[in-house]
Structure 1
Amino acid sequence: MPWPSSDLQISWASEYIDSSYNAPGVQSPVVDKLIAQIIAAQGDKAKLVPLGRALDRVLTWNYYMLPMWYMAQDRLAWWDKFSHPAIRPVYTIGLDTWWYGCQQSRQTTGSQEVVRINGRLSYPPSVTGDPHAMGHYYH
């Protein structure tokens, strides 16, 4: 069984909020305290197991994006084949009204620009093709 280690600090600690490692944007004194206790308990299985489980519960309860494996980067795959209609229906909030674009689905342009704004991935107008829209993927 792998044990929780000091590597957790880079991914979850508040002090790394502005780094590319704290991708979910975690800023929590509870998480910080649990990580500090995990670092202090290295080598002590009796302490590490309950601390690791407690950290897991806190992170899961907050619905953060959980990074998988130990990679230096995040991967995001997407295909721009959906769009909003040019004239939107009167009684819609727009979130459930996406249209499949046959022309868009045939085009692949390689890598697209994706930026992180306030803890979320954002597709700029150069990607969406709509200068007035910003599509967001919340995590």
Structure 2
Amino acid sequence: MSLLINIDVPDTASGERFYTAAFGLQIGRRFGKDFVELLGWESPVYLLAKNAGTVGAGGDLRRYERHWTPFHVDVVVGDVDAAVARAVAAGATLEAPAKNTPYGRIAMLADPFGHGLCLLQFNARGYDALLEG
């Protein structure tokens, strides 16, 4: 099995600008103007242009203001503070500044399209710290 990440955006050009600037992803392939592959993470990212107001999964209408979903992307980084600064400079909204946790540091953001994401910097113990006492 493998994992692909598909992210709906109102247009691929704005999605490309954000994800390449915020995370250093590179354009892999273009499948027309509304479907772009980005590379640089362990799984490829596909930006799919979908107009706001069109029907998405479960019959919900797509919207690109901030919305909640139980599924989001955690981006593991070496320096969460630097990654937050880069993402915000690229257009992300910082929703919860980086804080220390037993497993490292985490910050919560939203991309310019309303999708939530977290930036996570693991310490030496990582999630194993949650197994202790």
For this structure pair, what is the TM-score category when the shorter chain's length is used for normalisation? under 0.3
Specify which structure has the higher proportion of helix.
1
Task: With the length of structure 1 as denominator, give the TM-score of the two structures.
Answer: 0.24
Higher relative contact order (CA 8 A, sep 6+): 2
Task: With the length of structure 2 as denominator, give the TM-score of the two structures.
Answer: 0.25
- Between structure 1 and structure 2, the one with the greater Rg is 1
Specify which structure has the higher proportion of strand.
2
